[in-house]
């Protein structure tokens, strides 16, 4: 539980928001809601595809796009989720296991999913912006 | 070798289509219902996007696209005419997966995409099968204009029916192959060799199935090697004149 972490409740609230402000982290958590575990590869497929499916004009997600998301998950997003105590990430086997969510995280995620639904296809996801909305139609 | 064997070969590629969506999608499942494409459903919380479709080959990620975009393309009914994003993106994602129930309208949209590539490239060889000469007659003006690109070699294949080879012989820029072969009457195809650029090579090949009129089984591909094989088969079987 977040409350039990040695670095204190205030620190852990910061860590929780630091994770949840990242759309990669939220979408990984939405996906993990009904599943105990997922592999890094599986999460990369889901997060890359899902965030692109929300774009105003969805493009095809290529293996290279997915690879970029995998690198971000491995080095930044999953460690942030682990710091916030929301998942366990095994660096060697590259498997992610969902922790039982603290009440606050659970409530926030439930609300944020409703908001993502209302905001459907509004390109307002700040951390998606650099990752490809400007892509030219790749005519070849 | 027969045209049908190309369709059988592509049908042997093992592709898995995974539909990530809040609920199973029967339209997509029906479209891919062939023995060589496995369709799976993975539940996803409803975020309003409708989810997405992932294609894998032997477990390797090939690509993915918003489910809404794929669904629009495979659903019966209208697709936008001429080359457009609504056609190009799903075609890219679904290349080398066999389809079983395309109607003429969808086939035409996919065909236009390939003809348009040939036209824009402006060089190379385009081979198109119209099944019957009557059908070629209705497309003839369009093909004359495609063939007006001087460095584009255009060949049309069709079996004579009420339209005879004589009545069509004055086609200026395209070579018309009036062939009696059964497979020419049974197959719809359009094959562009890329004009020296492998990234432009593409082909669509479909066999009209006996079970229903206007129903086709086949595939399209951007694989330059496979395109080259189909091109060579047509050239060797039916000549260049």
Which class does domain B3-238 fall in? alpha beta
Which residue segment(s) compose the domain that A97 sits in?
8-119
A73-126, pLDDT tens digit by residue?
999 999 999 999 999 999 999 999 999 888 889 999 999 999 988 875 544 444
Residues 6 or more apart from B60 whose CB is under 8 A from it? Answer: A63
Q: Does A137 touch chain B (CB under 8 A)?
A: yes
Q: Does A114 touch chain B (CB under 8 A)?
A: no
A129 part of a folded domain: no
Cβ contact B47–A140 (<8 Å): no
Write the residue in B54, B66, B199 that is nearest to A58 by C-beta: B66
What CATH number does the domain containing A74 carry? Answer: 1.10.10
d(CA B137, CA B134): 5
Q: Contacts from A122-126 at CB under 8 Å and sequence distance 24+?
A: A122/A56, A123/A55, A123/A56, A125/A23, A125/A51, A125/A54, A126/A23
Instruction: Check pLDDT > 60 for residue B120.
Output: yes
pLDDT of residue B212: 65
Closest CA to B141 of B111, B166, B114, B170: B170
A75 part of a folded domain: yes
CA dihedral B65, A108, A14, A132 (to 10 degrees): 20
Instruction: Check pLDDT > 60 for residue B218.
Output: yes
Q: Contacts from A29-32 at CB under 8 Å and sequence distance 24+?
A: A29/A81, A29/A86, A29/A87, A29/A98, A29/A101, A29/A109, A30/A109, A30/A113, A30/B44, A30/B45, A30/B47, A31/B44, A31/B45, A32/A87, A32/A96, A32/A98
Cβ contact A45–B65 (<8 Å): no
Instruction: Check pLDDT > 70 for residue B77.
Output: no
ipTM exceeding the 0.85 mark: no
Tokens of A104: 């606050």
Cβ contact A58–B44 (<8 Å): no
Where is pLDDT greater, at A4 or B93?
Answer: B93
Domain locations in chain B? 3-238
Size of interface A-B (CB pairs under 8 A): 83
Q: Does A49 touch chain B (CB under 8 A)?
A: yes
Q: Does A62 touch chain B (CB under 8 A)?
A: yes
CA distance A6 to chain B (A): 33
Number of folded domains that form chain A:
1
Mean pLDDT calculated for residue range B32-49? 84
A131 part of a folded domain: no
A135 part of a folded domain: no
Highest mean pLDDT (candidates B35-44, B74-83, B193-202):
B193-202
A83 part of a folded domain: yes
A2 part of a folded domain: no
A132 part of a folded domain: no
Write the residue in B46, B48, B65 that is nearest to A58 by C-beta: B65
Q: Which residues of B touch A41 (CB under 8 A)?
A: 61
Residues 6 or more apart from A118 whose CB is under 8 A from it? Answer: B48
Closest CA to B6 of B237, B239, B241: B237
d(CA B110, CA B81): 10
Residues 6 or more apart from A111 whose CB is under 8 A from it? Answer: none
Cβ contact B20–A49 (<8 Å): yes
Where is pLDDT greater, at A135 or A54?
Answer: A54
Where is pLDDT greater, at A140 or B24?
Answer: B24
Q: Could you give the angle at which helices B104-121 and B85-94 cross, rounded to 10 degrees? A: 100
Instruction: Check pLDDT > 50 for residue A131.
Output: no
């Amino acid at each position: 539980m977040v409350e039990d972490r040695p670095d204190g409740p205030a620190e852990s609230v910061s860590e929780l928001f630091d994770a949840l402000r990242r759309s990669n982290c939220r979408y990984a958590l939405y996906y993990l809601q009904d599943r105990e575990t997922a592999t890094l590869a599986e999460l990369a497929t889901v997060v890359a595809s899902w965030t692109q499916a929300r774009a105003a004009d969805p493009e095809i997600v290529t293996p290279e796009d997915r690879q970029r998301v995998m690198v971000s998950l491995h080095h930044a997003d999953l460690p942030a989720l682990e710091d916030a105590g929301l998942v366990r990430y095994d660096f060697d086997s590259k498997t992610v296991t969902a922790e039982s969510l603290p009440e606050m995280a659970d409530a926030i995620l439930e609300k944020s999913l409703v908001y993502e639904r209302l905001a459907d296809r509004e390109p307002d996801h700040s951390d998606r912006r650099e990752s490809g909305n400007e892509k030219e139609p790749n005519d070849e | 070798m027969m045209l049908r064997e190309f369709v059988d070969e592509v049908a042997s590629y093992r592709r898995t289509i995974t539909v990530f969506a809040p609920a199973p999608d029967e339209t997509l499942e029906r479209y891919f219902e062939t023995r060589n494409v496995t369709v799976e459903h993975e539940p996803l919380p409803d975020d309003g996007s409708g989810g997405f479709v992932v294609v894998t080959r032997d477990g390797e990620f090939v690509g993915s696209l918003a489910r809404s975009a794929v669904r629009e393309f495979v659903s019966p009914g209208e697709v936008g005419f001429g080359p457009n994003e609504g056609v190009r993106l799903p075609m890219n994602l679904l290349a080398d997966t066999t389809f079983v129930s395309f109607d003429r309208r969808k086939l035409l949209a996919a065909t236009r995409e390939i003809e348009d590539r040939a036209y824009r490239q402006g060089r190379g060889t385009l081979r198109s099968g119209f099944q019957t000469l009557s059908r070629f007659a209705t497309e003839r003006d369009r093909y004359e204009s495609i063939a007006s690109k001087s460095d584009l070699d255009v060949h049309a294949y069709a079996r004579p029916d009420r339209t005879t080879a004589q009545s069509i012989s004055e086609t200026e820029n395209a070579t018309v192959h009036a062939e009696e072969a059964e497979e020419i009457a049974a197959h719809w195809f359009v094959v562009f060799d890329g004009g020296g650029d492998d990234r432009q090579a593409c082909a669509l090949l479909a066999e009209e199935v006996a079970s229903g009129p206007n129903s086709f089984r086949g595939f399209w591909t951007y694989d330059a090697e496979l395109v080259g094989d189909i091109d060579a088969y047509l050239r060797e079987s039916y000549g260049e004149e």
